[in-house]
Amino acid sequence: MDTTYCRICEAACGLTVERGPRGEPVRLRPHREHPVSRGYACAKGTRFLEVARHEDRVLHPRLDGRPAAWSLAVEQVAERLRRVIAEHGPHAVGLYFGNPMAFNTLGLVATVAFGRALGTRNLFYAGSQDCNNKFAGAEIVHGSPVIQAFPDFAHTDLALVLGSNPYVSQSSFVHLEGGGPANFGGILERGGSVVWVDPRRSESARRWGEHLAIRPGTDAWLLLGLLRLCADGAPSDAAVEGWPQLRARAEAVSLDEVAARTGIARGEIEALAERLRRAPSAALHMSVGVNMSGFGTLAYVLLQALAWVTGNYDRPGGLLVNPISGPLARAFEIAGLSDRVRSRVGGFDSLLGTLPGGILADEILEPGPERIRALVVLAGDPLRSIPGAGRMERALRSLDFLACIDMFESATARHAHALLPAASWLERWDLAVTTVPFQRSRRIEVSGPVMPPPGESRTDAVILSELAVALGLPGPQWRVLRRGVDRWLPRPRAGLPGLKLRPGRWLARHRLRLWDERVEGELLRLRAAPAIAAGRMRLIGRRRRLGHNSWMHGGQRSGDAEVVAWVSPEDLARLGGSDGVEIEIRSEVGALRIPVRAVDGVASGTVVVPHGLPGCNVNALIPAGEASIERVSGQLRMTGIEVGVGVVKA
């Protein structure tokens, strides 16, 4: 039996490969005997063969929209980049890479090394659209962005989950061993409870536990209120710094204000705090719905503090830290990813060596020395995934040169002077380094290619190494990668062993920091944030079972009407509409027309629009630029956006 693992998210679920009579893969199935995922995998992974074999896949290099030989394409890309650097300096070249690169070991190493060898500070990553706050928060709490605590759902009595819907899409920054049924269903079977904090009663809340409706973008307020109510139970622990300062700020917050901001009754908040105090163990987790709220970093620090205060840090059933996090943090420092650079526009500090995607268009369009004039985009689509699509399109059109390395001609790649075809994760070697910190298991996934790259597509690492050699960039690694080093790398069927997780040892050796000037600044900003204006609604996104960000190439279920907004039945009646009518959603930056449906469980005043749909880009409604970026992390605010909604008259 051939085995591999999915590389769409951190879960890295195990898969088996069924082959046809000629040895070609014909089906991917969940690996029933996998020691970590234990027979679970979502439809995004099991149906990825449809993506890899999609009729629209780019199979040959293109220059100015026409097919070209590989040698000519590489030579032309290198020459155009060389020309820009010679005339304007290395910072005039920018690199942008999307989420798939986070699960592409050699590709990620090659991308970072390529940017450093070019000498540019302008490296951008899609994480600033969905998870940068967790890296910034971890840097505050643990001193390194790659040290991440994860919830031990498999052994907890109470799970408190904010802004996540793992029934539809595996939750981020945690590996749910055995998937949602084994974790959240298991909690209920053990007599425990699960509380889902979300502006709508999600599919997960309907299936596993209780729903606590919250106004979009106010999760930090709820966590602050819970922290105040649980403060008296804080353990006396010399391993924690800054608790007195954070406690003083939490106790200065009125619970009535918390209730008014969140839309949750004060009694419900107090009852939830009492459950957290009394639970034998409690696992707390927040995901993308909180990350994108505009106060994601503060919410992350408050959640870590709440876990510690309630005695649920570094213990079974609470939050755990995989011991491999320490060596990974040191490796990132050695690689220079902890080094700081500052953006030309806005003066933003880098995080993990990358700058906020929200200023990419500004870095291209704003006049001045070292503005970006050439851009290389890898496994990403900034035109669709970064808000402010109109400004981004103007920026892309203004570039002297744009090269894209991708499986498909994305919206961004339609503006490219060069398009180089990349291999999919089914066609390359990989080591799941970015998965290990989020799992209890010590197993590190390894996989070789399941099938050869089609046409002339090549792995991202090979493509970058060919460009590096053509540019004459320093370093012996380029010629090694160019020869396809993955052919000689190990592919053990059982994976590689990691470090054994021993709860209780992390805090015995490391300190948590719950306070510094960044936390203080974010608390001040939270208190100063205005409440939503009367008559306005708040926009949030939703995941789909097959779609994933903007790179699943329009994956959707046949006959499933996903291009539809959801509102509460009360809101639809107030708007004077009915199911199926078209509404217009208006923000300060744009408008979007979409059919609407009333859905029970959507909080009043909330409009829910699917994320990543082809031809219907919700990001057109979301502001971009400096004012929309959380400065401490570079994270764009992409949920809880104030909008007006009206029925389109026939």
* Domains of the chain, each with CATH number or no CATH: 2-52 (2.20.25), 62-130+335-489 (3.40.50.740), 152-322+502-524 (3.40.228.10), 532-647 (2.40.40.20)
Helix (H, G, I), strand (E, B) or coil at 421: strand
User: What is the mean pLDDT of the segment spanning 303-308?
Assistant: 97
Tell which residue, 36, 139, 208, 104, has the closest CA to residue 423: 104
Residue 633's pLDDT is 97
What span, in angstroms and rounded, lies between the C-alpha atoms of 160 and 367?
47
Cβ atoms of 18 and 29 closer than 8 Å: yes
Helix (H, G, I), strand (E, B) or coil at 121: coil
The yes-or-no verdict on residue 556 having pLDDT over 50 is: no
Residue 445's pLDDT is 87
- Count CB neighbours of 354 within 10 A: 25
Specify the pTM. Answer: 0.95
Residue 548's pLDDT is 58
Cβ atoms of 504 and 312 closer than 8 Å: no
User: What is the mean pLDDT of the segment spanning 381-385?
Assistant: 92
Estimate to the nearest angstrom the gap between the alpha carbon of 20 and the chain centroid. Answer: 35
User: What is the mean pLDDT of the segment spanning 545-567?
Assistant: 63
* Per-residue confidence band for 559, with pLDDT thresholds at 50, 70 and 90: very low
Residue 347 phi/psi, 5-degree rounding, is 65, 40
User: What is the mean pLDDT of the segment spanning 193-208?
Assistant: 96
What span, in angstroms and rounded, lies between the C-alpha atoms of 536 and 551?
32
Residue 142's pLDDT is 96
Q: Using CB atoms within 10 Å of the CB of residue 260, give its burial: 0 to 12 exposed, 13 to 18 middle, 19+ buried.
A: middle
What tokens appear for 434 in the block?
A: 């970015």
The radius of gyration of the chain from alpha carbons, rounded to an integer in Å, stands at 24
Cβ atoms of 146 and 332 closer than 8 Å: yes
What tokens appear for 1 in the block?
A: 């039996």
Cβ atoms of 117 and 350 closer than 8 Å: no
The yes-or-no verdict on residue 93 having pLDDT over 80 is: yes
What span, in angstroms and rounded, lies between the C-alpha atoms of 231 and 226?
8
Q: What percent of the chain has pLDDT over 70?
A: 96
User: What is the mean pLDDT of the segment spanning 207-225?
Assistant: 96
What span, in angstroms and rounded, lies between the C-alpha atoms of 9 and 435?
8
Residue 115's pLDDT is 95
What span, in angstroms and rounded, lies between the C-alpha atoms of 238 and 558?
57
Q: CA end-to-end span of the chain, whole Å?
A: 58
